[in-house]
Every structure is written in C-alpha cells, then in structure tokens.
Structure 1
C-alpha cells in the first residue's frame, strides 16, 4: 500500500516550551553554588589526605605500634577519643594493612593450630589491639608489639615534613611492598631449604637481618606445604634453643 502523503503539522499541533526567568539560576544561586564547590575543594586535602600527618601527630612515636598492628592484620579497638581521631587512625591503619596481599587462613591451617602448642597459637589466632585515650594521661596501646622494621619506619615518618602528604603516602606504600618482597624472598629460601642445607642457613640469616622475622614466620605458614612446614619447624626449634631474638 502507498504511504499517506507527508503533511506539515499545523500550528495548532506544535507546542513551544518557554522557560520562565524564575526557572533560571540567578546570580545569587550561582554564587552559592560556586562557594559550595570552592569549600569542598578546600576541604578535600583535609578529608582525603591529611589524616596521615594527623595520625602521626596524635600517636607520635607510638605510630610504630600501629604499623606493627597493621602488618599483623590485628583488629583495632579505639576508645576515649573523638570520632575524627578514631577515623583518622583507622584510615591510617587501612593504608598500611596487608590484608589485600595475604591469603586468608584455610580450615586445615586452623585445624593445625588446634594441635599446636601454646607458643604457636598466636601465629594463627586473630589479635585484638586496644588503643585507649585517657584525659591527662595521653594514649596507650595495650599490646606494644614492634620490630625494628616498624620502629625504623616510624622514625622516618616522624621526620618527614607534615605538609608533604605525598611523601608520607609513598613511604607507607614502600613499607608495605618491601615487607611483601621480604616475605616472597623468605618463601623462596624455605622452598630451596627442603633439599639444600645451605639454603636453610640462608633462611635463618635472612630472618636475622630483615628486622621483621617474627612476622615473616607467621605468614609463611599460611600457604606452606608439608615439607616447608618441616623446614619452618626446624628453624623455630633452633631459634628457641639458642634464644635468638628476631626483632
């Protein structure tokens, strides 16, 4: 069938939308919008970046315990302070945390923990760290776990200009990546030590010089095979027998 001839719409069929002047943003509203955007941009560094130097300032030298807690993947309980300070500390902790790199404990590892002696249980069970603020008495960590690796980084962070937030963030990223690199290096030594006694000696030497040997021993067990666990057991036996301090 033929299509009907095209016809232009009549004037009565068309409608024209007209925006009234009161629907347009006036100068006052534009000014308010501009002020709001400017205030947001001015507060952006404070809200997004400056929690790092604020946390360092609040904790001082105790930031070393927070760094260790982050590497330990501990749970934090913070009390006696303002919501802002608590949020800053938790964000700083998250910035240092290794949870995204570390394989979660498998059920068989937890079963192994149940059969371990008491001295090994801490390496499998979650750790809770309490940070308590008391008026007139400052702030305290109930568990002051630390190693030379964390203490050294704490000194470096305190020495950095508090306005150089980018530098602080770079240091923390480097702090995490170096620990992961140390962990991978130690795993390679342990794997070689399954068939090479010299590699076993190198594993021990590495634990002594890396300044975070206790943490490395904790994490290599998470995905270690049977032979690697035997190597680790031999290392730990020697460390206990000679009373070697890895921190």
Structure 2
C-alpha cells in the first residue's frame, strides 16, 4: 500500500477505489457488492460504536459511581442541605464566642470545643444540636491532625444522629486577610480563622462539585469580620444558599430547556458561541455554567480548543441565540445531531424530577463518551493513512457514532499540519456530508 503522503486518498465513490477497500483473501474477503455499505466484513461488530446509547467500550468509564444516586442504600433526600460555620483559634485562644451586634453570642450558648492548643466555637448552623456536636467533634479531630489547609476544601462522609443517614460533608479552612486586623502581640492574641462546612447528598456526589464549593467558600471570606456584625444580613444568607448556588444550576437548566437541551449540548461540544438574551442574572449564570461543564474544555489541548473556536466562528458566522423573554426559552440558529439528541434523552429522563448530583454525573459521562469516540477515530485515522480498508472502517465509525460531524472537525484541527491525515480527513468529510448523517438545523 502507498502512504497518503505519496498518493491522494481515493474517493469512496470511486468503483476502483472500492475494490481496493475489500480485504484480501487472508482476511476472508471476496470484494464488496455494488453498495459496499450494505454488507459489513467479518469482525466489524468490534469496531462499531454505540455513542448514541451512551455505552462505553469497556463498560467502566460511563458507569455512575455507587453512592451518587440517592436512595441506593438509604432514603437520603437529594435536596437536603445543612451548613455550619466555626471560629477556629489556634494556640488555645480563650474566646468561646463572638458577640453579634444584638449582644448575643455567635457561639451557641457559648459552646466551644477546646483541644490542647486550639479552640473551635460555633458561629452559625442549621443542624440539630446533637448532630452539630458530632460535626464539631469530627472537625476538631481533623484540625488536631493538621488535615485542614487554607482555601483547600475536603469532602468526607459523615454518619450523624439526625438525620439518620450518612451525608456528604465539604469542609474548608478560611483565613480572612483584611488590612488592619492583625493580631496584637501585647495582648497575646491571634486573628481568628474560620472553618465552614456544607453537608448534603453523598461524599461522591459532593465531590463532583468540589470546584463550585471551593468558590462559594472563598466568597464567604469577604463577608467575615471579628465582630460578625453582618451575621444575619450577609453571612447566614450566604451559608444557606450553598446548595442553590453550587449544586442546583445544572438541574435548573435541565428543567428549563427539556428537549431543547440537545441544542446546548451540541453548542458545547462544537464550541459554538452562545448568546443569551432577556435572561435574569441567575439564569444567565446557570447557562454559562452548564456550557462550561458540558464542553470539552480541559480535556483537549488548549491550542486545539482555541483553533476550533476560531474555525467554528468563521464557518458558521452565527451564534446560538437563547431568548428567555418567555417562560419557555426560544432558541435560534439551533443545530443538533443524533449523539446530542440521544444524550439529551438520557439527561432529562430522570425519576422524581431528577437528582442534581446525577445530572452532573450524566454530563461527565457525556463528555467521556465524546472523548472516547474521538480517540477511537484518531486511532482509525492513523491506520487509514497506510491502509485503505481502515479508511472504510473510519467511515463506518463516523456513520454509527451519531457525532461524526463534530469529531471530524476536532480531529481536522488537530491534524491541520499533517498531510497524510489531511487527505484521509478530506475524503471522510466529503462523504459524511453526502451520506446524510451530519448535523441538522432545527
């Protein structure tokens, strides 16, 4: 066989070329009939992809982690959300509570846990008293082991007396850095630090939102001061909103768009710009977060992502427009494909209105499957550079995966400077457009 660098790849419509696609006698081939795609060669089932059905080649990568689904082993409500905030005084500070502006102690009834060289005092919580003490004991043990670091949240699973099921617990140490609040060496005091805890879902469920929870905890730092004068107005509302702000945005988008979610999935995979009109701030932020989560950002090379964004913008000359002026959003310039439509059904078809943790996991699986298909296509293209039969397998892969148009664009950008691969891609691109299984406008 000649390399494609020496000979241009044959067109799949060329009858002579089709003869060369037939495997030799060693492979049991006897040539293809007039329509080469109505008969698949032996063993081809191993190369078929089931992207549209969200199946993984090895059955492992797309499996929902045990414990993310609420109710697998207990009756944990998916919307349960608790919080606690503590003052942490290293060095055995004598402060057991901080007075708020109404004169009451921010540390419930002056409660404080003092262990050797530090104290831990309650500022605010919505946990039952017994459960709060159990949580504080857990945090105190972590502090005594030096297991908390400023700005780096951790996730664990806790068994509390009430509610009577295990909860995921995110906890983070905060050190507010405000000018003029340095410790006074003459008084032998140190500036207080804080430990914030968010409890809900499961350990593996919360771990999916670690980045969002880190950001929510970081935003709390600007609201903290030693007097805690803004406990009612700023601190408590921020603590109470952690679940709504960090976990529920994806769930809200799924409920808002329903079947139209396929257009957002396609735009995210294809790097199509999205323009949101007439939306309130929360909806705007929710859409932006969904698009970031559903995109392949961070999973493909940064240079490839930038080049693809430029290529898609120049090719389409238009953005996906989401108009939220009505109760149901209207979408203009909508484009989708079978892969995104099948995954839309997988995402929206959830029992009991959907689990916010499960929605996140499904989107992660959506991206994993797209990456898996892209890697399979790259492997087949490398083989097709030297083997005409492999070119046929590339075509069948793209035909069956339901996402051939997007995969081809991504791989085309990555192989822009490789003439051998470029000739293969030109043949595939031409045929995929004429084969009737590219993206379609809606």
| TM-score, with structure 2 as normaliser | 0.44
Change (3 A) 1:186 1:211: same
Change (3 A) 1:171 1:24: closer
The whole-number CA distance in structure 1 between the counterparts of 2:430 and 2:336 is: 22
Q: Which runs of 4+ in 1 moved over 6 A?
A: none
RMSD (Å) for aligned C-alpha atoms: 3.0
The whole-number CA distance in structure 2 between the counterparts of 1:60 and 1:160 is: 11
Q: What's 1:215 paired with?
A: 406
Query: Residue 131 of structure 1 aligns to a residue in which SS?
Result: strand
CA contact (8 A) 1:80 1:134 kept: yes
CA contact (8 A) 1:105 1:222 kept: no
Shift of 1:200: 0.3
Greater per-residue strand proportion: 2
- Which of 202, 218, 221 is the matching residue for 2:393? 202
The whole-number CA distance in structure 2 between the counterparts of 1:73 and 1:236 is: 19
Q: What's 1:28 paired with?
A: 104
Change (3 A) 1:239 1:125: closer
Shift of 1:238: 3.0
Shift of 1:70: 0.5
The unaligned stretches of length 5 or more in structure 2 are: 1-94, 109-121, 126-230
Q: What's 1:90 paired with?
A: 288
Q: What's 1:190 paired with?
A: 381
Q: What's 1:151 paired with?
A: 341
- Which of 215, 225, 229 is the matching residue for 2:422? 229
CA contact (8 A) 1:64 1:151 kept: yes
Report how many aligned residue pairs link the two structures: 215
The whole-number CA distance in structure 2 between the counterparts of 1:178 and 1:124 is: 27
CA contact (8 A) 1:103 1:222 kept: no
Q: What's 2:147 paired with?
A: none
The unaligned stretches of length 5 or more in structure 1 are: 1-20, 114-120
Map 1:56-205 to 2 at 5 A: 56-104=254-302, 122=312, 125=315, 128-135=319-326, 138-161=328-351, 162-205=353-396
Change (3 A) 1:105 1:40: closer
Change (3 A) 1:123 1:206: farther
Does 2:321 correspond to 1:245? Answer: no
| TM-score, with structure 1 as normaliser | 0.76
